[in-house]
Structure formats: C-alpha cells, structure tokens
Structure 1
Amino acid sequence: MRRVLPVADAILAAETPEAIGEALGGLRDAWGVDQATFIMRAPDRADVAPAAGTLPGAAGMWLRRRGWFSIACVEPEWVRRYEELSFQNVDPVVLTASRRFSAFDWRELDFSAPRSAALRAEASAYGVGLHGLTVPLHGAPSCEAAFSVISTGGPAAWDAVVAEGLGDFLTIAAALQQRAHALLGLATAPRRAPDLDHVERRALAGIASGRGVAEIAGELRLTCAQLRRRLATARAKLGAETLAQAVARALRLGVLHPHPDELRYGGARPVRDGATRSASS
C-alpha cells in the first residue's frame, strides 16, 4: 500500500479547505517533504465569494477568490507577499504548469530572469525550499490546476524523493483536484470507469510520468506504432480529446495510479497483434 493512501483518503473526506490543509501535513511523515501547495484556476462564479483562512496542523493558509482557489502549506506571510507582488505572472513553476501535462522537477526551470530571480530569493528568505516537483492537472473543462511538493533538504535526499515518490504525488494531486471541485460546487456526476486493459493502463502511466513514446514502447516491448494505437484506444474509452485529458480522467476515475514501477513490464513478450502475452504463454 502506498505511503500516502491515508493522506489521499483524508483529502477526499475533507469538508473544508482547513481539513484539506491538515491532511496535506501527512506528506511530511510519508515522504519527508517540508511544504506543499495546490492552486486551481476555476470558472468565475458570482456565488463564490472571496475568502481566506489559516491551516491548522500545518503552517500555511488557503485562499479563494473569483477565478482561483489555492491551499499553501508554507509560511502565510509568504503567501500574502506572493499575491501582493503578483508573482504568479512571472513564476516559472506556474508558467510551466500552464503549458505542460507531465510532472516536472524545478531543477529543469530557468529562474535567471530578474523577476524570477527575485521571486526565488524572496521565497528562500521566507523559508520556502528550493527543491520542488510540480504535477500539472488539465483534465477538467475550463479548469487547470497544479500541485507541488517542496523540500528544504539537500539534492541527494531530493533525488530519492523524485525517483520514488512520483506515483504517490500524482495520487495526491488527483485527490486534491477532485475535492476542490466538490468544495467549489464544480463537481460533475461520476462517470463509469472504462475497462482499460493492462497495456493501456501502463501506456497511460508512462505518459503521466513524462516519458516519451519511444521510451514507453521500449519498456512495454511494443513498436511505436503499436503504442500509439493502444493510446488512441485508451483515449477513446475515456472519452478524451487529448492524452492529457485521458490521463487526468483515468486518475479521477481511479483506473490509473501511475508509478515508475508500473512501467517494468517484466516477463512480457513483444505484442505483435494487439494482445498481451506473458513469457509463460
């Protein structure tokens, strides 16, 4: 059982933003990360009044206003400072999350622009860690979101978190998006989970993990053409227009829990006719 399943269950059962923030505190025990943030852009609604509150059990606060909703397990003064200076308009993390689907390590990003460098310096002064991993979420119509875990530790410890924790963080991200939709009255009627086969699930898990088609095909012992056909079939089953939507819907419906280990297709022979065959068949 994954380390974060109790955290995900607590998030899905939360009735308030404060309860979600308290649940996120469990990531410290599960993975040793120091901070976490979740931000979701949502359609403007006249009946969603601006509001804010502090988070019990974790240093941080939540904010809700027209157009967006956020929960930040970081120093509340930093949240206010970030908003006051509109850092979201220059933050490489936010800008990258808006155009990518797969999770990314902050070490991939460029903070050299003057305002980006100022953002990083101020964040560090407020105790925000320099190591982070962000999971973008683009599966809901008219909504996009991003979940980040942050560490103040050294690079070696962070390498281990990134290598082993991706599947857990994807699970938490999907739970946060689902619960935020419900709290803001954006949730839709549940859709019946489609019957994805073993290869389709693993192929989608590879996309969610940020791997390219050639790499996933090699792991699954498929040709690139075979993999693309499998992905197209999975996308159609999920009623998605893009692979990004397909992965997000699979996460929300509980048919996909991507983890790097799921891409180790041990003992499987190459698939030549669209069917999966084990080494013993």
Structure 2
Amino acid sequence: MRNPSPENTLSFEIIDRISAAAKLEEGHAVLRENMHRFDLKHVAYLGLNIPSERRRKPLVAVTYSPEWQRHYEQSDYVNIDPVVSAGLGGILPIDWTEIDRTRPTIRKVFGEAQEFDVGMQGLSFPIRGRYGEFALFSINADVPARNWPSLKKMLVKEFMVISYYFHSWALQVEQIEQNDFAGKLSEREKECLRWSAAGKTIWDTSAILGLSERTVRFHLENARSKLNALSTTHAVSKAISYGVIPLP
C-alpha cells in the first residue's frame, strides 16, 4: 500500500478525479480503481431517502459480489443490519469489529457476509443532509487483527474527506441543490480551513496569516460549529464538498 502523505494528497487526487465524473457509476469506478492503494477489499455507498424526481430508489454503488447483494436484499438485511442501525443512530465512524455480536441474528448477518467474502474488518461513515437524506459510506479490509488499528487510523482520516465529498458529488449528479455555506463562513475561517486542507498545522497557519495560534484555533472552532463538523478534518471535507474552499 502506498502511504498517503500527511497532506491527504491521495484523498484529494481521488476527489479531483471523482469531480470530473458525470455519472454515479463513473465516480464509483474511481474508488474501485484506487482500493488497492488503501489495502481495501470493498467500498460501498448507499444513499437513502434521496429527494429526486429522477430517482425513487436508493443510490447504490458497491463492489460486493452480485450474489451477496442479491442475498442481502432478498433476506431484507437492511432492516436488521447493525451497521445501518448504528449509522441511523449516530454520527461517528462505525468500526465493524466493535459491534456487539451476541444476538444470533447479528452473528448470522456477519457470518454470511464472511461467506460471501465481504472482508473481516469494516468502517462505515454515516452522512446526513439538509434534505432529510441519509447515506452510509463503507469500506472493508482483510488484514491481520494486529494491523487493523493503524490501518483504521489512516482510513478514518482519509475517508472522512472522501465519503462526504462522494455524497455531495452524488447529489450533484442527481441534480439536488447543495447547501450554501459560503455566506456563513468568514474569510478568516475559510483561510484557516484552506491551510488545514493543505496539511498545515495551527502553528503553520498562524505564521502564514500573521495571527496567534489562539486566534487560528478560534476561527477553526467557529468553522466547525457552523458546518456542524466533528473535527477540523470533518470541517475541511464538508467545506470542500460544498464548494466553500477549493481542493488544495
């Protein structure tokens, strides 16, 4: 696996290619072609309750086998899948290895997923939008348990950005109007986010902008609050996906 640099250059390279795609399948193909660069086995996007006159069904783009997709749908697993349930009830990334599997039905879902070669480990990113839509962006890996914590740390950082951008881009493909956050952020807040997107630390940003570190933290916290983000990385990913700041 190629280790992404601290500046998330690989993430932004992928985002740049997705932005040039005109169809959902084309954007998903970009993800599929880059899975090996993250040691991933599968990548999946599921968008529910999409307010579009052109599409009544969920937005689906997955690399799982057709057999597993068919089995999952026929078994109505979406209503008992613990990953979907956790996503609907929270906003933090979901580590599949931490899900309680004491219930027989939950063990059955995970057991059959293994039979269909889904992957031993998984991460899912819940995404909620202003139009009432809900999306779940999932990635799967097959690495030794001892290697999962370090891989997971990198994947959370990279795919927090990619997942939100992919969802925003998917809505654009469906011609759903995007939120206008540009007017909500001050120029200083945008500047601080832009330098964070470029991989600069708070100290770096303070030196570049001629501000104190405390002031930079203040602007980043304000931006996080206005964008309803969990972290600076989350705020950067949202700002990029909504077009508030450009790709580095």
TM-score interval (norm. to shorter): 0.7 to 0.9
Pairing of 1:15-164 with structure 2 (within 5 A): 15-43=22-50, 45-48=52-55, 65=57, 68-164=58-154
- Asked if the contact 1:196–1:234 (Cα under 8 Å) also holds between the matched residues in 2, the reply is no
- Asked if the contact 1:4–1:27 (Cα under 8 Å) also holds between the matched residues in 2, the reply is no
Query: Shift in Å at residue 254 of structure 1?
Result: 5.7
Q: Kindly indicate which of the two structures has a greater share of residues assigned to helix.
A: 2
Alpha-carbon separation, structure 2, partners of 1:39 and 1:196: 35
Alpha-carbon separation, structure 2, partners of 1:43 and 1:188: 13
Alpha-carbon separation, structure 2, partners of 1:157 and 1:95: 27
Give 5+ residue unaligned stretches, structure 1.
Answer: 50-64, 206-220, 258-281
Pairing of 1:222-233 with structure 2 (within 5 A): 233=222
Amino acid at match of 1:186: I
Query: Shift in Å at residue 101 of structure 1?
Result: 1.1
TM-score, scaled to structure 2:
0.73
TM-score, scaled to structure 1:
0.65
The answer to whether structure 1 residue 250 and structure 2 residue 225 are counterparts is no
Pairing of 1:207-218 with structure 2 (within 5 A): none
Residues 90-124 of structure 1, C-alpha deviation per residue, up to 9 Å, x if partnerless? Answer: 11111111121121211221122222111111111
Give 5+ residue unaligned stretches, structure 2.
Answer: 1-6, 198-212
Aligned pair partner of 2:223 in 229, 234, 239: 234
Q: Secondary structure at the match of 2:10?
A: coil
1:276 alignment partner in structure 2 = none
Q: Secondary structure at the match of 1:165?
A: helix
Structure having greater relative contact order (Cα 8 Å, sep ≥ 6): 2
Query: Between the two proteins, what is the percent identity of the paired residues?
Result: 21
Alpha-carbon separation, structure 1, partners of 2:105 and 2:52: 31
- Asked if the contact 2:88–2:126 (Cα under 8 Å) also holds between the matched residues in 1, the reply is yes
Alpha-carbon separation, structure 2, partners of 1:97 and 1:137: 8
- Asked if the contact 1:36–1:148 (Cα under 8 Å) also holds between the matched residues in 2, the reply is yes
Q: Which stretch shifts more, 138-147 or 93-102?
A: 138-147
TM-aligned CA distance change 1:235 to 1:164, over 3 Å: closer
Alpha-carbon separation, structure 1, partners of 2:42 and 2:171: 22
Aligned pair partner of 2:17 in 10, 15, 37: 10
Alpha-carbon separation, structure 1, partners of 2:101 and 2:49: 27
Q: Secondary structure at the match of 1:37?
A: strand
Q: Secondary structure at the match of 2:47?
A: strand
The answer to whether structure 1 residue 173 and structure 2 residue 180 are counterparts is no
2:176 alignment partner in structure 1 = 186
TM-aligned CA distance change 1:231 to 1:119, over 3 Å: same
Cα RMSD (Å)? 3.4
Q: Secondary structure at the match of 2:132?
A: coil
1:272 alignment partner in structure 2 = none
Alpha-carbon separation, structure 1, partners of 2:179 and 2:51: 20
